[in-house]
Amino acid sequence: MLNNLNKIESFKINHTKLNEGIYISRTDGDIITYDIRTRKPNSGDYMDNETMHSVEHIFATLIRNSRIKNNIIYFGPMGCQTGFYLLIRNTESSKAVAVIKEVLLLITEYDGEIPGNSEYECGNYKTLNLEKAKHECGSFYKKIEHISDVQNYPV
């Protein structure tokens, strides 16, 4: 049965050559899905659940309060533990990259409670760790601080 299904676009990317960066994963009308790749795939270096979960809570909150807040559709982790997907409507890629970098820096400086850090607000609130989120975002920012637009997927 699975042999007759079309391969999804993200499985067509050569993950053996993919590095950390910000890529356009797909475009659907006015919605662009960004591949925010914080780790090199298949390198043995993966985010643990606390890191992914914490970045997700803080990044999603900050970008939904940013200057492009009305264009944000979704932010969440990749199952492979090497990055995140960000869906944005009606925003030029260079502006999206600038806002992503701004949010990363805000996270490195963040010293409050992690948003959604309660049993009422989250289904697994005990797996949140601010220091891990700050470290992940700071490390990734250093890898992309000099880019001003999306990168091209390797062939």
pLDDT tens across 6-53, in order? 888 888 899 999 999 999 999 999 999 999 999 999 999 999 999 999
Residue 114: inside a domain: yes
Between CA 96 and CA 88 the distance in angstroms is 8
Residue 154 lies in a domain: no
Q: How many CB atoms lie within 10 A of CB 2?
A: 4
Q: Could you tell me the end-to-end alpha-carbon distance of the chain, in angstroms, rounded to an integer? A: 29
**CA atoms of 142 and 155, how far apart (whole Å):** 25
* pLDDT value of position 144: 97
What's the rounded Cα separation, in Å, for the pair 28 and 102? 25
The CATH code of the domain that includes 36 is 3.30.1360.80
DSSP 8-state secondary structure symbol assigned to residue 151: B
Q: Is the pTM of this model over 0.75?
A: yes
The token pair that represents 73 in the structure block: 């559709």
**Domains contained in the chain, number:** 1
Positive or negative torsion for Cα 34, 60, 73, 52: positive
Predicted confidence at residue 10, as pLDDT, reads 87
* Domain around 111: 17-144
Instruction: Please write the tens of the pLDDT for every residue from 110-144.
Output: 999 999 999 999 999 999 999 999 999 999 999 99
Asked whether residue 4 is assigned to any structural domain, the reply reads: no
Q: Count the helix, strand and coil residues of the chain and give each as a percent rounded to the nearest 5.
A: 40, 20, 45
Residue 3: is its pLDDT beyond 90? no
Per-residue pLDDT at 1: 62
Residue 74: pLDDT band with limits 50, 70, 90: very high
> Which residue has better confidence, 82 or 155?
82
Please spell the DSSP secondary structure of 111-130, one letter per residue.
-SPPTT-STTT-TTGGG--H
**Residue 87, in any domain of the structure:** yes
Secondary structure element (H or E) that encloses residue 100, with its range: helix 93-109
Compute CA 26 distance to the chain's CA centroid, rounded to the nearest angstrom: 14
List the structure tokens of 102: 């701004």
Per-residue confidence (pLDDT) for residue 95, from 0 to 100: 98
Q: Judge whether 5 lies within some domain.
A: no
Residue 4: which pLDDT band, with cuts at 50, 70 and 90? Answer: confident
